[in-house]
Chains A and B, each alone.
Chain A
């Protein structure tokens, strides 16, 4: 990829070990504006760690995360609080287990960031939140508590909570893998719509068929390395690498 590309974030030489276990061995990747990038690979391949590094939830041991028009964050020295906040300013995270605040209503979950952190008025934030909840079909659940919702509904609230911050980059960490099969569709539909609206996103997923439809770019990781990258028509349909081929076949044949 040439540097003239309209990139939103570039990652270079990302490394991370947990104790003896080296989970990332020099990862490079680029996400362009408006692009949907799917990170796939077996569990333990490091894809979630890459995603979490983009949001500063994981502090890599080395490597550079560079969001456009911002100073690159070089992890070879411990990042400052300011640098971490800068990273989090650019992206928002959707978690596998939703991680909604159980003691707050749906609306309160969504406006917490805009009101408490971005210092927007409650009226403003509530109007935005209501519109977003309506979009994902949850307007009537505004005042419900998370435990009153199904997993699929909770995850849609999780997505709305991320959207409410108006981030440039959306990060999805296996957003459907904790869901009952019949609830997966609603959540994928929301993600599909966001992709159609040209949101930039990075998606860690095991839903290869979904990735094939929605992603512009697929990155296959294994053992802490990026093994193969390219459009879904190549990586998921005609993988060049043997490991990619095995992985894709195992998941799609099921």
Chain B
């Protein structure tokens, strides 16, 4: 006699949510933060007048966007050891996801910086601000507002993409579901349960996004 379906669902819910809390969410958050820093650097390089600098950034973005995330992940986890560089599952996942976010978000940030009117740079320069001051205090705060919706997309994609980390043995939401499924043979139930948990996380993120947009909107005319 197999256990009743409902019992299986409630019994498996905690390990799956636990996988989200200790795996999926920290993995996504840390990769996103590091990825944003990479993206800002790449975006600024892309905007550089020096051909070599902007060229390097362009190639980086092209490689990241032109190759599958799963392949990037495997290159780091399974490929690097062949060259004598052994990276543990967690760091491998964080490195791969950060580099990936770096490539995608760089284009978002670059576009957001370019969307700030030229007059804002000029106004800052005439009050003698340095380029770094201008960027930090005038341009980036305005670019932030523009980039919230597309960066939210990037983040939501990232949350779902972290499921790939299960393939390099990182214990996160999906790997928990897989293990319970393998044991109970109830694949449909467990995978739908995993899907629902991902969906709930993404719903929560969407509401954070609209809150953020409202907050950043307060000094924009309507």
Please report A residues at the B interface, Cβ cutoff 8 Å: 55-57, 85, 88-89, 92-93, 95, 97, 99-104, 112-113, 116-118, 145-147, 161-162, 165
**Contact indicator A101/B138 (Cβ below 8 Å):** yes
At the interface, yes or no: B195 with Cβ under 8 Å from chain A?
Answer: no
**Contact indicator A57/B125 (Cβ below 8 Å):** yes
Q: For B142, what are the chain A residues with a Cβ–Cβ distance below 8 Å?
A: 102-103
Give min CB distance, A148 to chain B, whole Å.
Answer: 8
Give min CB distance, A83 to chain B, whole Å.
Answer: 13
Question: Known interface pairs A102-B219, A103-B142. Does A112 touch B119 (Cβ–Cβ under 8 Å)?
Answer: no
Interface residues as binary, B127-156 with A (CB distance below 8 Å gives 1, 0 otherwise): 111000100011001100100000000000
At the interface, yes or no: B126 with Cβ under 8 Å from chain A?
Answer: yes
Near A by CB (< 8 A), chain B positions 65-99 give none
Instruction: Give Cα distance in the complex from A97 to B122, angstroms.
Output: 11
> Contact partner of B126 among A57, A101, A145, A146, CB < 8 A?
A57
Q: For B141, what are the chain A residues with a Cβ–Cβ distance below 8 Å?
A: 103
**Contact indicator A116/B129 (Cβ below 8 Å):** yes
> Contact partner of B122 among A57, A112, A118, CB < 8 A?
A57
**Contact indicator B221/A147 (Cβ below 8 Å):** yes
At the interface, yes or no: B120 with Cβ under 8 Å from chain A?
Answer: yes
**Contact indicator A93/B220 (Cβ below 8 Å):** no
Instruction: Give Cα distance in the complex from A87 to B8, angstroms.
Output: 75
> Contact partner of B123 among A89, A100, A118, CB < 8 A?
A100
Main secondary structure of the interface of B (DSSP, over half): helix
Closest residue of chain B to A144, judged by CB? B219
**Contact indicator B127/A95 (Cβ below 8 Å):** no
Q: For B220, what are the chain A residues with a Cβ–Cβ distance below 8 Å?
A: 102, 147
Q: For B221, what are the chain A residues with a Cβ–Cβ distance below 8 Å?
A: 147
**Contact indicator B128/A95 (Cβ below 8 Å):** no
17 contacts between A and B (CB under 8 A): A57-B125, A89-B128, A93-B126, A95-B119, A99-B119, A102-B220, A103-B145, A103-B219, A112-B127, A112-B129, A113-B129, A117-B128, A117-B133, A146-B219, A147-B221, A165-B127, A165-B128
Question: Known interface pairs A102-B220, A112-B137, A145-B219. Does A88 touch B119 (Cβ–Cβ under 8 Å)?
Answer: no
**Contact indicator B128/A85 (Cβ below 8 Å):** yes
**Contact indicator A101/B133 (Cβ below 8 Å):** no
Give min CB distance, B20 to chain A, whole Å.
Answer: 35
**Contact indicator A95/B123 (Cβ below 8 Å):** yes
Q: For A93, what are the chain B residues with a Cβ–Cβ distance below 8 Å?
A: 122-123, 126
**On chain B, which size bracket covers the interface?**
20 to 34
Q: For B119, what are the chain A residues with a Cβ–Cβ distance below 8 Å?
A: 95, 97, 99
Other A-B pairs beyond A88-B126, A102-B220, 10, CB < 8 Å: A55-B126, A57-B122, A92-B127, A103-B141, A103-B219, A145-B218, A145-B219, A147-B220, A147-B221, A165-B128
**Contact indicator B126/A116 (Cβ below 8 Å):** no
Give min CB distance, B139 to chain A, whole Å.
Answer: 10
Q: For A57, what are the chain B residues with a Cβ–Cβ distance below 8 Å?
A: 122, 125-126
Give min CB distance, A157 to chain B, whole Å.
Answer: 11
Closest residue of chain B to A118, judged by CB? B128
Instruction: Give Cα distance in the complex from A57 to B122, angstroms.
Output: 7
Closest residue of chain B to A97, judged by CB? B119
Closest residue of chain B to A147, judged by CB? B221
Q: For B127, what are the chain A residues with a Cβ–Cβ distance below 8 Å?
A: 92, 112-113, 117, 161, 165
**Contact indicator B125/A116 (Cβ below 8 Å):** no
Closest residue of chain B to A56, judged by CB? B125
Instruction: Give Cα distance in the complex from A118 to B130, angstroms.
Output: 12
Q: For A89, what are the chain B residues with a Cβ–Cβ distance below 8 Å?
A: 128
Question: Known interface pairs A101-B138, A145-B219. Does A117 touch B129 (Cβ–Cβ under 8 Å)?
Answer: yes
**Contact indicator A92/B126 (Cβ below 8 Å):** yes
Q: For B126, what are the chain A residues with a Cβ–Cβ distance below 8 Å?
A: 55, 57, 88, 92-93, 162
Q: For B137, what are the chain A residues with a Cβ–Cβ distance below 8 Å?
A: 112, 116
Closest residue of chain B to A104, judged by CB? B219
Q: For A95, what are the chain B residues with a Cβ–Cβ distance below 8 Å?
A: 119, 122-123
Q: For B133, what are the chain A residues with a Cβ–Cβ distance below 8 Å?
A: 116-117
**Contact indicator A99/B120 (Cβ below 8 Å):** yes
Instruction: Give Cα distance in the complex from A92 to B123, angstroms.
Output: 10
> Contact partner of A101 among B123, B125, B128, B218, CB < 8 A?
B123
Give min CB distance, A104 to chain B, whole Å.
Answer: 8
